[in-house]
Structure 1
Amino acid sequence: MSQLLTLAVPSSARARSLVTSRGTFATVDMAPDGSVPHRGTVVMVPGFMGSKEDFLPMLPLLGRAGYRVVAIDGRGQHETGGRHPLASYARGELSRDIAAVVEAVGDGPIHLLGHSYGALLARVAVIQTQGDPALWRSLTLMNFGPAEVSDHQCERLRLLLSVLGSMPLEDIWPFLEGRESSVPDEVRTFMRDRWIANDPSHVKAAAEQLLTESDLTEGLSALRLPKAVVSGSPDLTWPPDGVRKMALALSARLITVPEGGHSPNVHRPDETAAALAEFWDSSTHH
């Protein structure tokens, strides 16, 4: 699951409701530091059980590097809540949401980054649009593997799916909550409230997709846009060997973040942001 240690928002970032052709999405929109040239815009898609706030720790460094960052809550997720039919959470529908967000941001082509389940959707969005250079400047897959999650995570997701229909999200939370002593109380409260705000249909669809995702590496490798794979470790969600092989098959830049865990954006934000900015700088004139 997505992890979080702080809710600190940079002074240059603001909460914004982004109106798109496919609905309104909650975002955190951070302008680049005014003292440096604007180098590009990044759209960030959070993972399963996550939200736009997962990316907050990286924002100050990316702003100083000249990047505008727009982090979103996806359909049915946290503050882009509401209840929708299960069919609206199909991978293809959610990836069309991402393309609509990019068009509404209006600063393209953009660097697209997806974390975990968000990377699953980002990959589909890029493939679905055939790597349209008017939309995408680059693609980054963060802590994501080529296909379904590890056996350990499959067991957890099947257990979650088995109780989703009969238990409200509020009653499921105690079984999901991490016990890290370093997490401040206000963050614990936020994570609980965020989970409860999700549409159960979104949770069901995402869990099923993580269990059944097929390997789309070949289709993605045929698209010419610059790609990066970020691998924080240790991570039990996707086997690391598979992640490395995927990066190699994609001719992607592999960014390894020791002690980054499943959320290097949270546990090693400075190192992760610096490596990302370097990748985006190099891919701007690709």
Structure 2
Amino acid sequence: MSRPPTFLPPDCAGSRVLQTSRGEFAVLDATPPDGAAVTGTALLVPGYTGSKEDFIAMLQPLTDAGYRAVAVDGRGQHETPGPDEAHAYAREELARDVLAQARALDSGPVHLLGHSLGGQISRAAVLIDATPFRTLTLMSSGPAAVTPAQQERIRLLGDALAVMSLDEVWEAMKALEPPEETDTGGEELRRRWLRHHPLQLVTTGRQLTVEPDRVAELVAVRPPLPLHVLSGERDDTWPVPLLDEMAERLGAVRTVIDGAEHSPNTDRPVATSAAVAAFWDRH
């Protein structure tokens, strides 16, 4: 779970609802100051158990670099409600949401960035239709299923959600984590957790444990989309050597953020923003 340094957006960003052909999505919409040139627009897609707030610390650096950055809650995440049907959280459904979000920004092709689960959803969106996108950045997001250890954690969470409330599960997770983890943003993180739809967590968690390797499909996208694989120097969800290999197979730009782990967006947001903006500047 990413731990945002704060849930309060910077002055450059506003909270609003993005109206799309597939419904309404809560977003943080950050723009460069009035009068400043806008180099491009980026759509930021969060990971499993995450939300748009995972990108808060990147918004100011990205707007300083000249980019409009829009971070979104997917359906069933935090401030975007979700339905009570599991099929609504299937990978293709979430991918089509991303396509609708990109088109609703009404800015031409956007730079797409997905963190972890958000990277696999973003990949699926590109495989359906790459035309709404200028580039794709996969942040700490691997080629296929997560590691066996993470698969077991997700299985245990799914089993718990079948018999416990979100609040009860939160207390159980808190009891199992090291004290330094539970002290970070505790109440704000808890409020976010309670607003997730349990079916979203169960369904997308299961997807992370069975995701097929779709690297060859992404390589075959025509015309080719500029690709960027970014991660921390350590990652317990997809090992860094696996991400290195994926980048090579994709012919992608590869960035490793020193001092970061699975969430470079919160671990080292300034360095991560600089790397992402530098990649976007080339395109």
TM over 0.5: yes
**Deviation of the 1:10 alpha carbon:** 1.3
For the 8 Å contact 1:2–1:263, the answer to whether it is kept is: yes
Code of the residue aligned with 1:17 in structure 2: it is: V
CA–CA distance in structure 2, aligned partners of residues 93 and 12 of structure 1:
31
Structure 1 residues 222 and 146: alpha-carbon distance in aligned structure 2, compared to 1, 3 A threshold: same
CA–CA distance in structure 1, aligned partners of residues 60 and 212 of structure 2:
36
For the 8 Å contact 2:4–2:56, the answer to whether it is kept is: no
CA–CA distance in structure 2, aligned partners of residues 68 and 157 of structure 1:
34
Q: Per-residue CA shift, 1:135-186, capped at 9, x if unaligned?
A: 000000000111000111011011111122111111111233454648777x
Structure 2 matches for 1:134-283, cutoff 5 A?
135-177=132-174, 178-179=177-178, 181=180, 187-223=185-221, 224-283=224-283
Q: Which residue of structure 2 aligns with residue 79 of structure 1?
A: 79
**Deviation of the 1:196 alpha carbon:** 1.0
For the 8 Å contact 2:13–2:28, the answer to whether it is kept is: yes
With normalisation by structure 2, the TM-score equals 0.95
SS of the aligned residue for 1:165 comes to helix
Q: Which residue of structure 2 aligns with residue 99 of structure 1?
A: 99
Runs of 4+ residues over 6 Å off in structure 1: 182-185
CA–CA distance in structure 1, aligned partners of residues 159 and 212 of structure 2:
22
RMSD: 1.5
For the 8 Å contact 1:48–1:117, the answer to whether it is kept is: yes
Q: Per-residue CA shift, 1:10-39, capped at 9, x if unaligned?
A: 112100011111110000001123354210
Shifted more, 157-166 versus 31-40: the winner is: 31-40
Structure 1 residues 182 and 94: alpha-carbon distance in aligned structure 2, compared to 1, 3 A threshold: closer
Code of the residue aligned with 1:235 in structure 2: it is: D
Identity of aligned pairs, percent? 43
Structure 1: 5+ residue runs without aligned partners? none
